[in-house]
Amino acid sequence: MCTFNTLLKAEHLTEFICRFNIMSNKKVTKIGILCSGGDSPGMNAAIRAAVRTGLHYGLEVFGIMRGYSGMLEDDIFKMESRSVANIIQRGGTVLKTARCMEFYEHEGRKKGYENLRKRGIDGLVIIGGDGSFRGAQTFSNEFDIPCVGLPGTIDKDIAGTDFTIGFDTAVNTAVEAIDKIRDTADSHDRLFVIEVMGRDAGYIALHSGIATGAENILIPERKTYIDDIIQSLQEKEKRKKLVNLIIVAEGDDFGGGDEVAKYIKQKMPQLEVRLCILGHIQRGGTPTCMDRLIASRMGYHAVECLVEGKHNVFVGIQNNRMNYTPLNEAVKKKQRINEEWLKIVKILAT
Ligand code: ADP
């Protein structure tokens, strides 16, 4: 029996599908896989999953080197199951990744389309960030090639998913490094300002800062009140609390770790202040178990989407369930920082 509720749901579903144009009857037979934008650990596990799921469904699978650049330059090759053997544990990406200025132009995208058409490639899996998804959406609108995205970014700055491929590894790398720095801070009664990655998103700073017991965590999503930090350092100094770790995301509004360290030195010359910028060690390295798991799960579901006709979405995981967000939505939202975490940091860092 068809109830009002089911009718309502069906109506909403139709509206959703029409609005975002995410369902299609177009049958996909040959898929191309590429990585685009910044690399992140776990991309290889995602490539492996997409290749093997594609083969499982009887699709022909092609690897596209260096993101959209390889598509434009016809750097495309056929992949078999063995092509992805022994890569699940490796950081970086065997397909390499790149940023491609030509892809911003229609003429560039057309060149890419012609290279796909030559081989009959009629579906794409794109592992990258919101910029890469924006490019994929534009490309799909112009040339009717269905695209499915996988969120590969260490920054975890994409709404619609609780995880992005690479974040867990990056955070764990930062935690390991900060723990080591703490040993020195403790031995010498020093204050360390540690800059972690995150130009627009503070998740690496927030998670690694909480996990290492940092006193202050400065993130792009919040204004930095530097004089409040100086005041709390002065209070702690009176209580003889001399070991302090301040974690700063590179995009913090005061100007990153360098500026923060300089300001503290200037205001509190009696303190031994050191600056440590963790930099690119956070991007590479063996992916954690968590990143391998989510990359495998997302890679599998990306190909399922193409096979089932669910197009122009990116695959996410929310509350341990798969979640599909239209590609054009991924560009509009940023994750919100959970206010509770900020409260916890304040309470625990006394
Ligand atoms: P990320 O995917 O990590 O956010 P970028 O924003 O640098 O990284 O995007 C990666 C690539 O995606 C760009 O170099 C470009 O080739 C393509 N791209 C990004 N935005 C667009 C767009 N609006 N139109 C077409 N291509 C785009």
In the chain, domain spans: 12-165+287-330, 167-284
Q: Is 36 in the pocket of ligand 1 (CB under 6 A)?
A: yes
Q: Looking at the domain that runs over 12-165+287-330, which CATH code has it been given? A: 3.40.50.450
CA dist 132 and 32 (Å) reads 15
**Among candidates 337, 9, 348, which has minimal Cα distance to 157?**
337
Any idea which residue has 């940092």 for tokens? 214
- Please tell me which of 159-163, 218-222, 285-289 the model is most confident about, judged by mean pLDDT: 285-289
Give the β-pairing of 60-64 and 76-79. Answer: antiparallel
Q: Is 155 a catalytic residue?
A: yes
**Among candidates 202, 163, 157, which has minimal Cα distance to 331?**
157
Task: State pTM to two decimals.
Answer: 0.91
Higher pLDDT, 289 or 26: 289
125: helix, strand or coil: strand
Q: Is 39 in the pocket of ligand 1 (CB under 6 A)?
A: no
* Sheet with strand 244-249: strands edge to edge: 216-218, 244-249, 191-196, 273-277
The residues near 26 (Cβ < 8 Å, ≥ 6 apart) are 122, 144, 146, 309, 311
Mean pLDDT over 127-142 rounds to 95
Which residue lies with its CA nearest to atom 14 of ligand 1?
Answer: 99
φ and ψ of 125, to 5 deg? -110, 120
Fold that domain 167-284 belongs to in CATH = Rossmann fold (3.40.50)
Q: Is 132 in the pocket of ligand 1 (CB under 6 A)?
A: yes
For residue 22, the tally of other CB atoms under 10 A from its CB is 21
Positive or negative, the CA dihedral 260, 227, 180, 166 is negative
Q: Is 100 in the pocket of ligand 1 (CB under 6 A)?
A: yes
Which residue lies with its CA nearest to atom 27 of ligand 1?
Answer: 135
Q: Is the pLDDT of residue 8 over 80?
A: no
pLDDT value for 12: 52
Mean pLDDT over 126-132 rounds to 95
Q: Is the pLDDT of residue 179 over 60?
A: yes
The residues near 70 (Cβ < 8 Å, ≥ 6 apart) are 34, 64, 76, 95, 96, 98
For residue 169, the tally of other CB atoms under 10 A from its CB is 25
CA dist 132 and 288 (Å) reads 24
327 C-alpha to ligand 1 centroid (Å): 12
Check 39, 122, 130, 155 and give the catalytic one: 155
67 C-alpha to ligand 1 centroid (Å): 10
Q: What is the mean pLDDT of the chain?
A: 91
